[in-house]
A and B are shown apart, each in its own frame.
Chain A
Amino acid sequence: MGILLFLLLFPAAMSLVFAVLPPNAFRNTLVRVSALLIAAGSVWLAVAFNGQGYQSFKVEFPHLDMIFFGGEMLLSLFLLYKCIGIKKHEWYIPVLILVQAGIMAYCELSGAMPEVENALYIDSFSIIMALIIGIVGSLISLYAVSYMRDYHHHNPQMKDRQRSFFFIVFFFLSAMFGVVFANNLAWLYLFWEITTLSSFILIGYPKTEEATRNAYRALGLNLLGGLGFACGILYLVKFLGQPTIDLNQILTMGRLDSGLVMIPIVLICFAGIAKSAQLPFSSWLLGAMVAPTPVSALLHSSTMVKAGIFIIIKFAPVLQGTWAGYFLALVGAVTFLITSIIAVTQSNAKRVLAYSTIANLGLIVACAGVGTPQTLWAAVLLTIFHAVSKGLLFLGVGSIEHKIGSRDIEDMGGLIVNRPGLAVVMIVGILGMFLAPFGMLISKWACLEAFVNVKYTPLLAVLLAYGSAPTMFFWTKWLGKIVSVSGDAKKGEGAVPGDEWTALWFLAAATVATAALFPLISWASVSPYVSGLYHVEDAAAGLTQGNIIIMSILLGLMLLMPLAFLAYPKKNKYVSRYLAGANLDQGDSFTGAMGATQHATLRNYYLSGFFSEKKLTVAGIVLSICLIVTMFSVVKI
């Protein structure tokens, strides 16, 4: 349990240190060391507890519940104070804060709040989450050391508030560890609200008008989800025959008779939908990209949105076979389809990544809503693969932006020549997101095989089939831009800082390693977790040994193919590209009709006349609200 408390408290303690230390060499070293310690701590936790199944711990400390309640009230007060900056149309934010604080105060002060014997727990899934938070999260904070320095160098007009930046980042990590270890729902709720608060502050970091408004939108939408969470707790405390806020107990009750706790579970899943930015809440995550890149990487890969799906995946066994679970799955599947199509129309790299995050989380929500052993297995693996690849891609885009001065995909042409290192990590990240035999595709494949067996209709599988097609389109055209070589291409100047390289190469290696070692990950922790919950032999039955061998062969082939360059015939004749005119300077321009010099430039297809972002978003919001309303109305069936 010592290591558990270390992970919970150490980042928070360090955050206090970073709150006072000015950005200097000593602070940077301290950030690096803390990141290393957190990563090492999470690995140690995994080594110490893996394979031991579920364990819970009693925390001995006087008046701990009152301290947490006090924390909640302080947090609400702080948020209310922050509401000074709101605009007229954001009136709902203080209302939500007050209602939530009121509900929690009512539960606590009416004396009805049940005691929880063991407030903390650990199982295979929380170990996996801890590894994601500990390793990916600390790599991102390591990356932030040099990134934030350059960020303020590039934006001199912006006030350097790095102290509050690193304070919040490390506090965020603590809260995330809290989310995955808390067995007491009241504690979990506080950690949940801290992640909302942290992302609110991080999104508003640039202090521009746009950043401030987006931060408030993120706050408002997440508070709406938080309201669902608070109502869930209220139900558990006031309307349950045997009041309990013990997460493990609720899951046990739900597995015996899902009807009993279905209402609070669906309410908390609603909070999960908001936090994981599913439709109709997706706009907050898209707005969040105004923040510095490490913030986006953090929100998208290891924290925040992962808290949302964490809680939904947690409830998956109870959702299995219920109509509420089915409609939750449909919310996810519809989000997957619509945001995948919208991603085609985007040329801003961070927006493409954001839409792809929402889509992939939709897939995870769909898996969790279905809640069969196979889909749960796929959901956990998707979470792992997505965290690694998406962290890599965001950090890659951040470094590219600092080097080429743009985050537009159209400006990344010829990256393979200009910045071969960055191009390689981006290629690895993109391949990891959609192509066989990398991680995301393995899980997508498992989802598809599992969705067909869902009892009602093949609808989910069909939505997945349609959604996969645009996914391939937008990733490949981005790859195409990176690998295209223009005549005037030459190597770019200025090196990428060491901290950034460390994070990038580590995550790139992890993307390949998770794909190569996924049978091992599955065997060591995901399968035992699923088997333990459902009492089934092997959750990964769909992926037979033969298929795993084939996947390994494919991966080996993919990694060996670059060797083909060694055997490359040198006798090829080089010409400049065909432009249907007389070429000038290595084919960048040509003499066209009437003897005029024409410059040839190329742009990718974005099909914005074919797929409209606005219309699709509106359709998605309407559809998902209908599905959510249906989800609530079928709760008792």
Chain B
Amino acid sequence: MKSAIAILAWVILAPIAGGLLAGVDRIITARMQSRVGPPLLQPFYDVLKLFGKQGIVVNAFQNFYMICFLVFVVVTGCLFFSGGDLLLTIFALAVAGVFFALGAFSPNSPYSNIGAERELLQMMAYEPVLIIMAIGMYMVTKSWHVDEIAGFHNLLVGYLPGVFVALLFVLTIKLRKSPFDLSTSHHGHQELVKGATTEFAGPALGVIELAHWYENVLLMGFVYLFFASNWIAAISAVIVTYFLEIFIDNTFARLTWRFTVKSSWIVAGVFGVVNLFVVAFLIK
């Protein structure tokens, strides 16, 4: 029953939260750039407008993959917020990512193709960190299940500070923020036009944006988990983290994929893996 409510709340509330997050993001970004910025609800107006437009496609398949992307992001969140297996959640998120990349491959367009390749490189960069996070949480709490991890009596971040740092590092990739917004960006000024989403328009673009909102809320759920024993600390951590991401987004220029992969793997090794070994020796 409890998990049914959680799933329902996720499916209905997550896009609202994600949209608001995007709205806040745009306002804060604007203020950082000495602009006024759009109204808070602007992202909702934008997406609603997208859904009212005519679909424009290169081939009959491409939108199918993006619908799969949305469906699997939603399913991933259902697993996570209903307290399911954390590893399975991460694998399901990977399925969603694979569909997004396939959608970008499908039109066979140079810009979206490079976007797809870069999306896969990004996945290669952040995947070890997510798995290391699940392993770390298991080693501390002795459970793979999100509900039991969330019910742990202490702040997890106290045991897994290195893993948390590694997660913060790759969160920038996953939130599609500069310096790691390689595959596609919210700003249309990059060398790849719109990268992975170049060939998508109208409702399909709306679907992608919606999935992205869902994904952002899910990622904030990961952050929340590190502080779950104290909800005030957890909410504050989520807010601070998101602000930090906006700040990084506005202060860094885009980096290369080489740097992205290399640095993510090194950060995962230096902070994440070392943290795991410390936990292994301290908690018997």
> Residues on A close to B: CB < 8 A?
413-414, 416, 435-436, 441, 445, 448-449, 452, 457-458, 461-462, 464-466, 468-470, 472-473, 476-477, 479-481, 483-487, 542, 546-547, 550-551, 554, 557, 561-562, 564-565, 568-569, 571-580, 587, 600, 602, 604-605, 610
Contacts and interface: CB of A to CB of B under 8 A. Distances in A.
Interface stretch (B14-22, B27-35, B67-75, B211-219): B67-75
A476 B273 contact: no
B124 A480 contact: no
B116 interface: yes
A202 B199 CA distance: 48
A557 B75 contact: yes
Interface residues of B, number: 63
Interface in B46-70: 54-61, 63-65, 67-68
Given A435-B95, A458-B276, A480-B105, A546 B84 contact: yes
Given A575-B58, A605-B121, A458 B94 contact: no
Contacts of A587: 58, 109
Interface in B171-229: 193, 198-199
B149 interface: no
Contacts of A568: 60, 63-64
B193 A445 contact: no
Contact of B91 (A441, A546, A602): A441
Contacts of B58: 485, 574-577, 587
Nearest to A416: B61
B106 A484 contact: yes
A470 B120 CA distance: 9
13 contacts: A441-B91, A449-B87, A452-B139, A480-B101, A550-B88, A554-B75, A568-B60, A568-B64, A572-B60, A572-B63, A573-B55, A578-B199, A610-B258
Contacts of B98: 435, 472, 476, 479
B127 interface: yes
A429 B79 CA distance: 26
A602 B110 contact: yes
Most buried by B among A480, A554, A562, A580: A480
Contacts of B72: 557
Contact of A483 (B105, B124, B265): B105
B164 interface: no
B258 A452 contact: no
Contacts of B109: 577-579, 587
A180 B102 CA distance: 41
Interface in B82-131: 84-85, 87-88, 91-92, 94-95, 98, 101-102, 104-111, 113, 116-117, 120-121, 123-125, 127-128, 131
Contacts of A470: 124
A445 B117 contact: no
Interface of B is mostly: helix
A575 B204 CA distance: 15
A480 B110 CA distance: 13
For the complex of A and B, the 8 pairs showing the least CB-CB separation, nearest first, are A480-B105, A577-B109, A465-B131, A469-B127, A572-B55, A436-B91, A484-B108, A485-B59
A476 B135 contact: no
B139 A458 contact: yes
A579 B107 CA distance: 12
B128 A465 contact: yes
Nearest to B123: A472
A48 B98 CA distance: 43
B144 interface: yes
A523 B113 CA distance: 44
Contacts of A476: 98, 101-102, 120, 123
A221 B88 CA distance: 39
B146 interface: no
Nearest to B108: A484
Contacts of B135: 448, 452, 458, 461-462, 465
Contacts of A565: 60, 64
Q: Which of B64, B95, B138 has the most CB of A within 10 A?
A: B95
A511 B124 CA distance: 25
Nearest to B113: A602
B131 A448 contact: yes
Given A413-B108, A472-B120, A480-B102, A466 B67 contact: no
B277 interface: yes
B193 to A, nearest CB: 7
Contacts of B5: none
A408 to B, nearest CB: 17
B24 interface: no
A473 B84 contact: no
B41 interface: no
A501 to B, nearest CB: 24
B280 interface: yes
Given A571-B55, A578-B109, A458 B117 contact: no
A557 B71 contact: yes
B55 to A, nearest CB: 4
B132 interface: yes
Contacts of B101: 476, 480
Contacts of B113: 480, 484, 602
Contacts of B71: 557, 561
